[in-house]
Amino acid sequence: ATVLLPTLSTHATQQDYGGLGATLERAMRNIVVIMAPAAAGLTILALPIVSLVYQIGDGAFQDESARQTARALAGYAPGLLVFSLYKAITPAFYALQDTRTPVRVGIFGVGVNLLLNILSVLLLPQGWKHVGIAGSTVFTSLLNCIALLVILHRRTGALRAGGLARTLAGALLAAALMGAMVLSLHSAALAALAPRMHLKLAQGLAVGTSMAAGAVTYGLLAALLCRPALKELREDFRLRQARKRG
């Protein structure tokens, strides 16, 4: 997303809106393939990761603190995907010499986020209010992404939702199946390892094993469910490596 601006600016200067849209779509497909499993994995393993990192000995940070922190982490985790997409979309407007639209959409998002935060504090039960605030931030960013894409499509007529939607559906399905496997594997691994070694070592091995197995599982599922986007990602990675060597 960071390196998109020069390419998008070239397309915009040449009024090549088809090229601008194709470049942005490809970047978003890359982001979806990368970030969908990261968001799912961090959501599923929120409590094990928080417990592993912060719950040490007889300190003040114990089970309840871990649960509350993990809930907030799980609320924020889907933002890995949403925030990354937003980071890719805004350079398209800068390339079109339009800095106002992202700001206006962002101001609208701040208002929606504030309203949702207030509703979360007022309506959600104790122990979940902060989760609502985290989720509100992610949801507001998603609305911003949708609004910017709609505006960009109306302005340039270049974006096609079909390819991105297929990639998104395939990646989310693969990430969901991966998440179910990771959840089961982590529980089984921790139950098997905890009686045989130090708890922290058992937790680390259980998390590491689950992450490694999840990566392999997602890779196999993505090859089946979103093969074209995965091929694009490999091509773009090889191109980036070649440019670095050059």
pLDDT of residue 240: 79
pTM (predicted TM-score): 0.91
Mean pLDDT, range 114-134, rounded to an integer? 97
Residue 104 has pLDDT above 90, yes or no: yes
The token pair that represents 209 in the structure block: 């094993």
Contact between residue 126 and residue 139 where contact means Cβ atoms under 8 Å apart: no
Mean model confidence pLDDT for the chain: 94
pLDDT of residue 114: 98
pLDDT of residue 157: 84
Q: Taking Cα atoms as reference points, which of 78, 114, 211 lies closest to residue 219?
A: 211
Residue type, 184: S
Mean pLDDT, range 85-114, rounded to an integer? 96
pLDDT of residue 217: 97
List alpha helices for the chain, DSSP H.
4-13, 17-44, 46-54, 63-76, 79-95, 100-123, 129-156, 161-193, 199-225, 227-245
Mean pLDDT, range 133-137, rounded to an integer? 97
